[in-house]
Structure 1
């Protein structure tokens, strides 16, 4: 996904947090790139470092369509959920796929539906890459 990096700053735990703008919203997440990165556009890969538990940090979306927002210390990602044949889950977020780790199998009726996942901003990571 193409994002606009507004700034990188350390938090109290010495992690780098990035203030980023995307076509879907503005959020604060963990930055896994150069701590001295300059503001500008970056292509990033998303990683979620938390198991998904249906009914706790994942639920049906109130709306339709992809989105990003902040809810307190959490990042809320709204996307279309897909289940693979081997039981893995993927969140489709505006052309970007994010592999999700599941604590338990998801209900079958959530496949191909819009869902929201709530992940602590320090467990929602962006890895910049170049093509």
Structure 2
């Protein structure tokens, strides 16, 4: 996914965080690239290092369409949730696939719907790459 990096910063209580913008929102998440990265556009891969538990950190989205926004001490990702053949889940965030680990099977009928994930910003990482 192509994102706009606004800045990279480090606070004493957190890992390196990137303030980012996308066409559908912005937030701050863990940055796994060059700590001296200049503002600008970067292609990134998203990873989520937190198990998804329906009703705890995942719920139906009130709106359809992708979204990224801050939510207090967490980040809210809105996308379409799909299942893989091996029982994992994938969040489709505007065409970018983010692999998710499930704490328990999803309720019936959730696959293919728009959902919101509420995740600690340190548990979402961006890995920049060159095309």
TM-score, reference length from structure 2: 0.97
After superposition, the C-alpha distances for 1:15-37 in whole angstroms (9 at most, x for unaligned) are 10000111111101110000010
After superposition, the C-alpha distances for 1:35-65 in whole angstroms (9 at most, x for unaligned) are 0101110000000010000000000001111
Aligned length: 131
Tell whether the 8 Å contact from 2:14 to 2:122 is kept in structure 1 after alignment. no
**1:119 aligns to what?**
119
After superposition, the C-alpha distances for 1:71-125 in whole angstroms (9 at most, x for unaligned) are 1011000000001121110000001000001111111210100000000011111
**1:62 aligns to what?**
62
CA distance, structure 2, for counterparts of residue 32 and residue 70 of structure 1:
19
Point out where structure 1 has 5 or more consecutive residues left out of the alignment.
Answer: none
SS across alignment from 2:101: strand
Runs of 4 or more, structure 1, over 6 Å off, are: none
CA distance, structure 1, for counterparts of residue 59 and residue 71 of structure 2:
15
Shift of 1:126: 0.4
Shift of 1:14: 5.1
SS across alignment from 2:38: coil
SS across alignment from 1:15: coil
Two-structure CA RMSD over aligned residues (Å): 0.8
CA distance, structure 2, for counterparts of residue 88 and residue 101 of structure 1:
6
CA distance, structure 1, for counterparts of residue 42 and residue 111 of structure 2:
30
**1:72 aligns to what?**
72
**2:88 aligns to what?**
88
**1:109 aligns to what?**
109
Q: Which has the higher strand share?
A: 1
**2:26 aligns to what?**
26
